[in-house]
Amino acid sequence: MGFLINPVAGMGGAVGLKGTDGLAEEARRRGAEPVAPRRAEAALKELGGIDALFLTAGGDMGESSLRKCGLEYRVVYRLSDEPTALDTKEACRSFLDNKVDLIVFCGGDGTARDVSGVVGSKVSIIGIPAGVKMHSGVFAISPRAAGELVCGYLEGDLRARETEIVDVDEEKYRAGVLDTKIYGIAMTPYLPALVQERKQVYSIASEEEFKEEIAIFASEFMRDGSAYILGAGTTTAKIAEVLGVKKTLLGVDVVKDGRLICRDASERDLLRILEEVGKTKIIVSPIGAQGFVLGRGSQQISPKVLRKAGPENLIIVATPHKLKETDRLLVDTGDPDLDETVSGRRQVICGYRIAQLKDVAASSSY
């Protein structure tokens, strides 16, 4: 099988860049650390007993991680400098020339777009989630799930299905505009519990009414003197609007006593505020259809931030329709122990003084 890593994928998340395309150096300048190799290796650990030869790209694009995990591999593409989208595409062409049965990649939507742009529907692909944004339907819900999908597919237990490759305009995304487009169709091994659904946006009229109710209720309980970290999304944006605060729609902001104290915060900003302010709570809303409340789109709310705030201070908000259309709520912070701590039956605020109980699960448990 073909195997490659976008080694800079996901680095922009914790430092508030909302993506890393063209901004790897800026991410490093802000103190970002590599995310993708660690997540790729978590998937590879599930493949220790598999009878397969991995064809890969040199160095950090796959070779280093395969060697570290003790898997049999052969390098079929070598790069001369820091990896680019062109290297991803050329590696995939080499995979096709060598007639691979499956391509496994680690990255985000940009990487999925590069891979599928070359491969199309010729060979099935599986994405190990490591990007800042992952709206496409080719991603497993966790690195461990990706490993299980690979095993199931190569052993003949799973079939592939068509799914959409989706990406956003990162320049608009950083400016707070979500411009999502479908860029192609790919084939991916499928098992409902292990593959994420493509992100959905709900636009029925009652959605806005329930968001307003949630926001009014939140504006009342947020008067307790705590600082509140508001995750990304339209529901949390409505809370800020009712408070009279200008929020970054696709970023993370902090409010205290009805006043914005940090806009478009990075992980470092949040840790500083937690040190200075003390009592802090976190409000997040799940991604439509996918169900992720942590680990997608708001990586600034990192394991360090959540542990310091206290998992008991995590507040989930969602409209009744979104909850009905979302089978499960998932967490994928990159810290399996913390994910298990957050998991369980949790209250989800879905209206004015109205809540539903919903199961929250660690994506790595599937």
pLDDT digits 0-9 by tens, 280-315: 999 999 987 688 999 887 889 999 999 999 999 999
Q: Among 142, 161, 189, identify where a domain stops.
A: 189
The CATH number linked to 254 is 3.40.50
Does 197 fall in a domain?
no
CA nearest neighbour of 263 among 300, 208, 304, 303: 300
Does 195 fall in a domain?
no
Summarize the confidence of residues 100-123 as an average pLDDT.
Answer: 94
Does 196 fall in a domain?
no
Using one digit for the tens of pLDDT, what is the confidence trace for 324-343?
Answer: 888 789 999 989 899 999 99
Using one digit for the tens of pLDDT, what is the confidence trace for 157-200?
Answer: 999 999 988 876 655 555 555 566 788 899 999 887 787 665 55
pLDDT score of 207: 81
Does 262 fall in a domain?
yes
Q: Among 189, 224, 250, identify where a domain stops.
A: 189
Report how many domains make up the chain. 2
Q: Answer yes or no: do 171 and 220 share one domain.
A: no
Tally of residues, the chain: 366
Q: Domain range spanning residue 158?
A: 2-189
Using one digit for the tens of pLDDT, what is the confidence trace for 47-66?
Answer: 988 889 999 999 999 999 99
Residues above pLDDT 90, as percent of the chain:
62
pLDDT of residue 19 exceeding 70, the answer is no
Please work out, in degrees rounded to the nearest 5, the angle formed at the alpha carbon of residue 171 by the alpha carbons of 285 and 291. Answer: 20
Q: Answer yes or no: do 148 and 26 share one domain.
A: yes
Q: Answer yes or no: do 173 and 30 share one domain.
A: yes
Q: Answer yes or no: do 161 and 217 share one domain.
A: no
Q: How many CB atoms lie within 10 A of CB 33?
A: 11
Using one digit for the tens of pLDDT, what is the confidence trace for 200-237?
Answer: 554 455 788 899 999 999 999 999 999 999 998 889 99
